[in-house]
Chain A
Amino acid sequence: MSEQTDTSWQPSASDFAPKPKHQTADVITRPAMSYWQDAWRRLKENKRALFSLYLIFGLITFTLAGPHLWTIDPSAQDLDQIGMAPGADRNVTIAPAYQPWYGPTSDVIYADDNPLGLVLVGDATSQAVRLAWQETGLGAGQTNYGYKIYRTLFALNVGDAFGLPLMETQNHYFEDRLDLQPTDYYYTVVALDKQGVETDQSTTIQISVKRVITMLEAQKRGLTQNKTVAEGDQIKLALHPFGTDYLGRDMLARLIYGGQVSLFIGIFAPLLYVLLGVIYGSIAGFLGGAVDQLMMRFADFAVALPFLLFMILLKVIFGIGPGESGVLPMLVAMVILLWPAPARLVRGQILQIREEGYINASKLLGASTNYLVLRHMIPNTMGVILVTITFQVPSAIFTEAFLSFIGMGVAPPTPSWGSMCNDGIKSMLTRPHELFFPALFISITVLAFNLLGDGLRDALDARMRNRE
Chain B
Amino acid sequence: MSSKSPQKSATSANSLSRQLGLYFFIAIVLVAGLLFALNQLAGLMGTATQEAQAVDFANNSISAVLREEPPQLDSSKATDSTSGLVLGHIMEGLLRMDLQDRLSPAIAERWEVSPTHATFWLRKDAKWSDGKPITAADFIFAWQLALKPETGSEYASLLYPIENAEAINRGELPASALGVNAPDPHTLVVALSRPIAFFDKMVVFPTFLPVREDFYNATQGRFGADAKDLLYSGPYVIKSWVHGASMLLERNPHYWDNNRGKLAQINFAYITSDATATLNFFKDERIALARLQAENLTEALRLKWPIRRFADGTVFYLEFNHREGRLSRNLNFRKAIQHVLDMEELVYKVTKLPGYLPGKSLFPDWLIGVEKTLREEYPASTVNVNSTKAKAYLALAQEELGLAEFPEITLLTSDNPVSNIQSEWLQEVLKQTLGLTIKIDKQIFKQRLAKMGAGEFGLLLGGWGPDYNDPLTYGDLFASWNLNNRGRYSSAKMDALINTAQNATATPDRMQAFGAIQQQIFDDVVILPMYERGVTYVVHPQLKGVKRRVIGAETDYTYAYIDPDA
- Using a CB–CB distance below 8 Å, which chain A residues touch chain B? 75-77, 79, 82, 152-154, 160-161, 163-166, 177-179, 246-247, 316, 319-323, 407-408, 411-413, 423, 425-431
Contacts and interface: CB of A to CB of B under 8 A. Distances in A.
Interface stretch (B51-59, B349-357, B480-488): B349-357
A352 B410 CA distance: 55
B269 to A, nearest CB: 23
Given A75-B424, A177-B344, A426-B275, 13 more contacts: A75-B428, A77-B424, A79-B349, A154-B301, A178-B347, A179-B352, A316-B447, A320-B441, A408-B415, A413-B424, A425-B276, A428-B276, A429-B295
Contacts of B349: 79, 82, 179
B440 A407 contact: no
B295 A426 contact: yes
B546 to A, nearest CB: 14
B417 A322 contact: no
A342 B295 CA distance: 43
A166 B350 contact: no
A232 to B, nearest CB: 23
B441 A178 contact: no
Given A82-B349, A165-B308, A323-B408, A407 B444 contact: yes
A77 B305 contact: no
B293 A426 contact: yes
Contact of A164 (B301, B345, B423, B424): B301
Given A316-B447, A322-B410, A322-B439, A79 B354 contact: no
Contacts of B519: none
B566 to A, nearest CB: 11
Contacts of A323: 408, 410, 439-441
A412 B442 contact: yes
B348 A247 contact: no
Nearest to B342: A98
B354 A166 contact: yes
Contacts of B297: 164
B390 to A, nearest CB: 15
Contacts of A412: 420, 423-424, 440, 442
B298 interface: yes
Contacts of A76: 428
B443 A246 contact: no
Given A152-B301, A164-B307, A320-B442, A79 B415 contact: no
B186 interface: no
Contact of A322 (B296, B307, B440): B440
B421 interface: yes
Contacts of B417: 423, 426
Given A164-B354, A179-B348, A179-B349, A411 B442 contact: yes
Given A75-B424, A79-B345, A82-B349, A165 B354 contact: yes
Interface string B242-276: 00000000000000000000000000000000011
Contact of B304 (A82, A161, A246, A425): A161
Contacts of B72: none
Contacts, number: 110
Nearest to B415: A407
B298 A430 contact: yes
Nearest to A80: B349
Interface in B7-37: none
Nearest to A153: B301
B304 A154 contact: yes
Nearest to B305: A161
A247 B304 contact: no
B295 A427 contact: yes
Given A79-B350, A426-B276, A321 B441 contact: yes
A163 B307 contact: yes
Interface string B317-357: 00000000000000000000000000011011110101100
B281 interface: no
Contact of A247 (B295, B345, B421, B443): B421
Interface string B379-413: 00000000000000000000000000000101110
B109 interface: no
A77 B350 CA distance: 10
Contact of A411 (B354, B355, B440): B440
Contacts of B444: 316, 407-408
Given A247-B421, A426-B276, A165 B427 contact: no
B443 A319 contact: yes
A222 to B, nearest CB: 13
A153 B302 contact: yes
A82 B421 CA distance: 12
B239 interface: no
A321 B440 CA distance: 9
B309 interface: yes
Which of B275, B295, B355, B412 counts the most A-chain CB atoms under 10 A from its CB? B295
Residue of A76, A82, A179 ringed by the most chain B CB atoms within 10 A: A179
B306 interface: yes
Contacts of A429: 295-296, 298-299
Of all A-B residue pairs in the complex, the 8 with the closest CB atoms, nearest first, are A323-B439, A322-B441, A427-B295, A322-B410, A161-B306, A179-B352, A322-B439, A430-B298
Max chain B Cβ within 10 angstroms of own Cβ: one of A165, A322, A407, A429: A322
A77 B428 contact: yes
B141 interface: no
Contacts of A322: 410-412, 439-441
A423 B293 CA distance: 13
Nearest to B431: A75
Interface in B415-436: 415-417, 420-421, 423-425, 427-428
A429 B276 CA distance: 10
Nearest to A179: B352
A153 B298 contact: yes
A76 B428 CA distance: 7
A26 to B, nearest CB: 39
23 contacts: A152-B304, A153-B302, A161-B304, A161-B305, A161-B307, A161-B541, A164-B297, A164-B301, A178-B348, A246-B295, A247-B421, A247-B424, A247-B425, A321-B441, A323-B410, A411-B440, A412-B423, A412-B424, A423-B417, A426-B296, A427-B295, A429-B295, A431-B295
A163 B297 CA distance: 9
Contacts of A82: 349, 352
Contacts of A431: 295
A427 B299 CA distance: 10
B222 to A, nearest CB: 28
Given A413-B424, A426-B275, A178 B295 contact: no
Nearest to B279: A429
Contacts of B425: 77, 247
B302 A154 contact: yes
Interface in B278-307: 293-299, 301-302, 304-307
